Amino acid sequence: AQRVTQPEKLLSVFKGAPVELKCNYSYSGSPELFWYVQYSRQRLQLLLRHISRESIKGFTADLNKGETSFHLKKPFAQEEDSAMYYCALGGNEKLTFGTGTRLTIIP
Amino acid sequence: SAVISQKPSRDICQRGTSLTIQCQVDSQVTMMFWYRQQPGQSLTLIATANQGSEATYESGFVIDKFPISRPNLTFSTLTVSNMSPEDSSIYLCSVDPGSRSYTFGSGTRLTVV
Q: What local confidence, expressed as pLDDT, does residue A52 receive?
A: 80
Residue pLDDT, tens place only, A16-68: 999 999 999 999 888 899 999 999 989 999 999 888 878 889 999 989 989 99
Mean pLDDT (10-residue bins), chain B, 113 residues: 92 97 94 92 92 90 96 95 97 87 92 97
Asked if residue A4 has pLDDT above 80, the reply is: yes
Q: What local confidence, expressed as pLDDT, does residue B53 receive?
A: 83
Q: What local confidence, expressed as pLDDT, does residue B21 receive?
A: 98
Give the mutation candidate from B61, B104, B108, B109 for the A interface (greatest A CB count, under 10 A).
B104
Q: What local confidence, expressed as pLDDT, does residue A93 receive?
A: 73
Question: Average per-residue pLDDT in chain A?
Answer: 92
Q: How far apart are CA B99 and CA B108, in angstroms?
A: 26
10 Å Cβ neighbour count for B55? 21
Give the one of A43, A49, A90 whose C-beta lies nearest to B104's C-beta: A43
Residue B40 DSSP symbol: T
* A64: Cα within 13 Å, side-chain hemisphere: 12
Q: Do B45 and A91 contact (CB within 8 A), yes or no?
A: no
Q: How far apart are CA A80 and CA A58, in angstroms?
A: 12
Residue pLDDT, tens place only, B4-22: 999 999 999 999 999 999 9
Residue A17 DSSP symbol: S
Q: What local confidence, expressed as pLDDT, does residue A30 receive?
A: 84
> How near does any CA of chain B get to the CA of A85, in Å?
11
Closest C-alpha to B81, from B20, B39, B35, B6: B20
How many residues are present in chain A? Answer: 107
Percent of chain A at pLDDT above 90?
76
* B41: Cα within 13 Å, side-chain hemisphere: 13
Within 8 A of A51 by CB-CB distance, chain B residues are: 100
Give the one of B41, B45, B92 whose C-beta lies nearest to A94's C-beta: B45
Q: What local confidence, expressed as pLDDT, does residue B111 receive?
A: 97
Q: How far apart are CA A41 and CA A34, in angstroms?
A: 21
Asked if residue A3 has pLDDT above 80, the reply is: yes
